[in-house]
Amino acid sequence: MRSSLPAWILRARLSANGASDLLWRGFPASRHNLGAGDPPTFPPSVVVQVKALACELPHRLQLPLSRLSLSEIRREVITQGLVAEISGATLWRWLSADALRPWRHRSWIFPRDPDFATKAGRILDLYDRLWQGRPLHAREFVISADEKSSIQARRRKQPTLAPAPGRSTRVEHEYFREGAWTYLAAWDVHRAKVFGRCEIKSGIAPVDRLIHEVMSQEPYKSARRVFWIMDNCSAHRGQRAVDRLRSQWPNLLLVHTPVHASWLNQIEIYFSIVQRKVLTPNDFHSLSELEQRLLAFQRRYEETASPFQWTFTRKDLATLLAKIENKRFAPAA
């Protein structure tokens, strides 16, 4: 599959069915008399080279493109002389065999926290009910918390239509803005309990109100220790936040995630459930209705909730970081 631009392109005479004559000599079994309606066949070398082309970044092919579409791959395959003619269906079949979708892309961020492994490792330990190599006591708890900001209440300009036979729910595209909430939530990792509140905006005071709501009730009030996993938002970032919360709640230990590692925070899983089940489609007549829906969903979710089956371990973390490190120092194109 590895290619070296454009040296791997065979500058050979093309046969009538589109493959190079040089390639056909290497695969005599593939050469047969085609009937008038028979589709052309291609030797394996052509398939390999087409897949190699699909795996290239467009600028390395000197193409003014950001991504390769199926039609662009077809055009380039013909332009480069790999084949004289080929159908999009054939290309799709070849690429699909290796799950190649060059027209898709995915954003990612290289870890930039110098203590990423250490910070991430202790969070993974807490999910496994460990702290500093020792099992947690029965009266020690792990809370995952964060804010989901700018949740708008969008009042549609026409009423939403319920589904009907042969028709899905219809939601008017245009809407009136009725304001927005910041939704703060906390998830008890091992007891599958969720706490949440709506605030006009985020900040130290709203975060403290959420923490007070949790820590003022049992079993957290009299717990030996309650570990709060939170990100590096300004309302709970750094040692000042650690000291502030510890002064209010002596049994509270604030544990920060690494920078740009929200995927390590289990509350994000709950937020994704809220997004799918409560906020999509977004059709609320008022901020009050939106708040009532969010808080009612918390109660409903808890009725059947169970702890998330977290399977990402320290071993997986080490493998991931090694993979990312290799990509970081990969030679530039």
For residue 59, give the DSSP letter: G
Q: What pLDDT score does 109 carry?
A: 77
Q: What is the pLDDT of residues 131-151, one digit of tens each?
A: 999 999 999 999 999 999 999
Q: Are 202 and 234 in contact (CB under 8 A)?
A: no
Residue 8 has pLDDT above 80, yes or no: no
The backbone torsions φ and ψ at residue 98, rounded to the nearest 5 degrees and listed phi first, read -110, 15
The domains located in the chain, with CATH, are 21-97 (no CATH), 116-161+170-322 (3.30.420.10)
Give the lowest-confidence range in 13-17, 35-39, 256-260. Answer: 13-17
Question: pLDDT confidence of 196, banded at 50, 70, 90?
Answer: very high
Q: Work out the angle between the directed axes of helices 70-79 and 88-97 (0-180°, nearest 10).
A: 110
Site of tokens 């290799």: 326
SS (H, E, C) 31-42: CCCCCCCCCCCC
Name every residue whose Cβ is closer than 8 Å to that of residue 166 and which is 6 or more positions away in sequence: none
Parallel/antiparallel/unpaired status of strands 252-256 and 225-230? parallel
Structure token pair of residue 207? 């975060």
- Runs of H (alpha helix) within 160-313: 204-215, 238-248, 267-277, 287-304
With a pLDDT cut of 70, the percent of the chain lying above it is 86
Q: Is 229 helix (H, G, I), strand (E, B) or coil?
A: strand
Burial of 186 from C-beta contacts in 10 A (0-12 / 13-18 / 19+):
buried
Question: pLDDT confidence of 80, banded at 50, 70, 90?
Answer: very high
Q: What pLDDT score does 121 carry?
A: 96
Residue 4 has pLDDT above 50, yes or no: no
Rounded CA gap, 101 and 306, in Å? 36
Q: What pLDDT score does 324 carry?
A: 83
Q: What pLDDT score does 38 carry?
A: 57
Residue 231 has pLDDT above 50, yes or no: yes
Q: What pLDDT score does 331 carry?
A: 57
Parallel/antiparallel/unpaired status of strands 175-188 and 193-199? antiparallel
- The pLDDT mean for the chain works out to 88
Mean pLDDT across the stretch 228-252?
A: 93
Q: Are 149 and 202 in contact (CB under 8 A)?
A: yes
Q: What pLDDT score does 26 carry?
A: 42
Structure token pair of residue 28? 């005599």
Q: What pLDDT score does 106 carry?
A: 86
Q: How far is CA 48 from CA 14, 40, 43, 97, in A?
A: 17, 17, 9, 12
Question: What is the model's pTM?
Answer: 0.77
Q: Is 97 helix (H, G, I), strand (E, B) or coil?
A: helix
Residue 264 has pLDDT above 60, yes or no: yes
Q: Is 260 helix (H, G, I), strand (E, B) or coil?
A: coil
